[in-house]
Structure 1
Amino acid sequence: MADQREIINRGNCFKLLAACFYEPDKDLLLEEQVCENLSKLLDTWASGAAKAAGEMALSLKTCSQDQLSIDHAALFVGPFELIAAPYGSVYKEQYRQVMGETTIDVLRFYQDAGLAVEIKEPPDHIA
């Protein structure tokens, strides 16, 4: 069983990872050292992912805000093809439906755990 410190570290890791899936704000990502901190947390139990987070930190320093926004939109929005839908329901529902029964299941899970969903996205958003 994981000790308290490991549980806290994993929770922090998931928060930082979630920040990487929202619409990017380069200044905030740099100021909060999201990728660097993610790399440090991942290093103890996922060295390959830690290396990737470190590479993201380096790339972030040279990439423009516009390019980050374009890349984010290309992956998660479209316009012609949705490369990586950020909603679990797209992968779990029979017709790749957003806001299906699986989305409601996620919302119920959060509510049962006493969590409030405070984002403008459906509750099964990857972040």
Structure 2
Amino acid sequence: MPQKDVFLGESLLSNLTGHLKKICPEASVFSVKMENNILKYSNEDLSVEYAKLFVGPYELKAPPYGSVYLDNAKIVMGDSTMKVIKLYEEEGLRRDSNFRELPDHISVELEFMYFLIYSEVEALKKADITAAKRYTERQGAFMNEILSKWIPLCCEKIKKGTENDFYTALADCTSVYLKNSLKS
């Protein structure tokens, strides 16, 4: 759940904007909007909207789980979830028993992409070109086979499901960054 003081106190959004200006200027436009728009809302407003979009209690307006978009049954923990669990395990990753989110939650899948990128960088530092190439290939496969197949749909649902400018900018920032990543 978003906590305004964390976003502002640790300069998360301004840091995001700074990095995006270097790697994806098109997305930085929306991170600036996120930074400006978060000021318009209270923590309670942000939390209520977050719950409406991603938690429930009844209908999720924008389910943050890949399986809802990727599997025909449109339920969590489907075949696509098992696929990402297998990918995590192939990299030697195990789920922390204290972590309560599902393996195909957007935050988990994006963290896995970060892991692959970090691993590539570490391999390059060691001049292990074979390992670096493997991680690059894994990134491309994960992006093309998983992330690009459902995150744009989730972003569209966020935009349709809210009038909150912070979440609209978040959806735009995410989808523009993803689209840009697919080009490169």
TM-score normalised over the length of structure 1: 0.74
- Residues 116 and 41 of structure 1: is their aligned pair in 2 closer, same or farther, counting only changes over 3 Å? farther
Deviating more after overlay: 92-101 vs 110-119:
110-119
Q: CA deviation at 1:78?
A: 3.1
- Map 1:50-89 → 2, pairs under 5 A: 50-89=28-67
Q: Residue 90 of structure 2 aligns with which residue?
A: 112
User: Over residues 45-96 of structure 1, what are the superposed CA-to-partner deviations in whole Å (9 max), with x where a residue is unaligned?
Assistant: 3222111111111122231000000111121123453221100000011110
Q: CA–CA distance in 2 between the matches of 1:30 and 1:115?
A: 32
Q: CA–CA distance in 2 between the matches of 1:123 and 1:84?
A: 17
1:122 alignment partner AA: L
> If you compute each CA radius of gyration, which structure gives the higher value, 1 or 2?
2
Q: CA deviation at 1:114?
A: 2.2
- Residues 57 and 117 of structure 1: is their aligned pair in 2 closer, same or farther, counting only changes over 3 Å? farther
Q: Residue 38 of structure 1 aligns with which residue?
A: 16
2:5 alignment partner AA: D
Q: CA deviation at 1:97?
A: 1.2
Q: Residue 101 of structure 2 aligns with which residue?
A: 121
Q: CA–CA distance in 1 between the matches of 2:106 and 2:84?
A: 11
Q: How many pairs are equivalent?
A: 105
| Higher RCO by CA contacts (8 Å cutoff, separation 6 or greater) | 2
TM-score normalised over the length of structure 2: 0.53
1:121 alignment partner AA: E
Q: CA–CA distance in 1 between the matches of 2:38 and 2:56?
A: 22
C-alpha RMSD of the superposition: 1.6
Q: Secondary structure at the match of 1:120?
A: coil
Q: Secondary structure at the match of 1:43?
A: helix
Larger fraction in helix: 2
State percent identity of aligned pairs.
39
Query: Which ranges in structure 2 are unaligned for 5 or more consecutive residues?
Result: 108-184
